[in-house]
Amino acid sequence: MSITIKDEQGIQGMRLAGRLASEVLDFLTPHVQAGVTTNALDQLAHDYITQVQQAIPAPLNYAPNGYNPYPKSICTSINHQVCHGIPNDKVLKKGDILNIDITVIKNGWHGDTSRMFVVGEGSIAAKRLCAMTYEAMWHGIVKVKPGARLGDIGHAIQLFAEGLGFSVVREFCGHGIGQVFHEEPQVLHYGKPGTLEELRAGMTFTIEPMMNAGKRDIRETGDGWTIVTRDHSLSAQWEHTILVTPTGYEVLTLSEGSPPLPSFVTTSSC
């Protein structure tokens, strides 16, 4: 397994890219309303990334092996869509839940983050799923420190999610990130503590659990990208890019508009 360890210059590059990715979500937040299309959100994000931030939207034309090039600049996954939803002309409705996934490239470095949005008031069940998925991500983040194992992260997320009656998607996971969009290691959101790769200072990777209100089974739709729950239950996802520091972790994808930390988290950097 070839994991890149970032030096101080690389860490500074990752900090900038991460903050910019989060600021795209800040910029989009007031536009996420009933009646808007995800295509409109994509265009707003594309223009902001390319013109204001002078950066590159990493998803646009991204084509890993076996995939057609991704046609948009952001991913927008609605309701039972788990991930990789392609923006289109369908309008958002009151009560929809929406994940917006942003990855920017700035000076060759990638920043990757996503947030959930509830359109209008939303049902109690939908809001609970979104809130608990956010907390699940943080249960994983706080396990990050040198000497810990990737299995510690996955176990903490799985234990929390399944304890609430939710299921964790297993086919998609977090990933190493740096000058490459997706690199080693894979960061599973389930597992056993004390297993898998040992964390070392300078590693950067995403933690991005996908939690379903129903069963964990998923399927791919005909567009070759969008993943949905097989039982049509709601799905939520949050994502941060994390740096392993000499003493713990640093969340790289924070900005002024980021949601507050959960009550059990004392710091975004330690």
Please, what is the Cα angle at 221 between 220 and 227, to 5 degrees? 50
Residue 66 confidence (pLDDT): 84
Residue in this structure with the two tokens 């795209």, named with its chain if needed: 24
d(CA 197, CA 1): 9
Close Cβ partners of 51 (under 8 Å, ≥ 6 residues apart): none
Residue 51 confidence (pLDDT): 98
**Residue 87: DSSP 8-state:** P
Close Cβ partners of 259 (under 8 Å, ≥ 6 residues apart): 115, 134
d(CA 97, CA 236): 8
> What percent of the chain is helix, strand and coil (3-state, nearest 5)?
25, 25, 50
- Sign of the torsion formed by the C-alpha atoms of 209, 211, 217 and 223: negative
Residue 1 confidence (pLDDT): 55
The CATH T-level fold of domain 8-251 is Creatine Amidinohydrolase (3.90.230)
As separate numbers, helices (DSSP H) first and strands (DSSP E) second, the chain gives: 4, 15
Structure tokens of 128?
A: 């609970």
pLDDT tens, the chain, 270 aa long: 589 999 999 999 999 999 999 999 999 999 999 999 999 999 999 999 999 999 999 999 999 988 999 999 999 999 999 999 999 999 999 999 999 999 999 999 999 999 999 999 999 999 999 999 999 999 999 999 999 999 999 999 999 999 999 999 999 999 999 999 999 999 999 999 999 999 999 999 999 999 999 999 999 999 999 999 999 999 999 999 999 999 999 999 999 999 999 999 999 999
Residue in this structure with the two tokens 């939520």, named with its chain if needed: 236
How many other C-beta atoms lie within 10 A of the C-beta of residue 44?
17
Q: Write down the domain spans for the chain.
A: 8-251
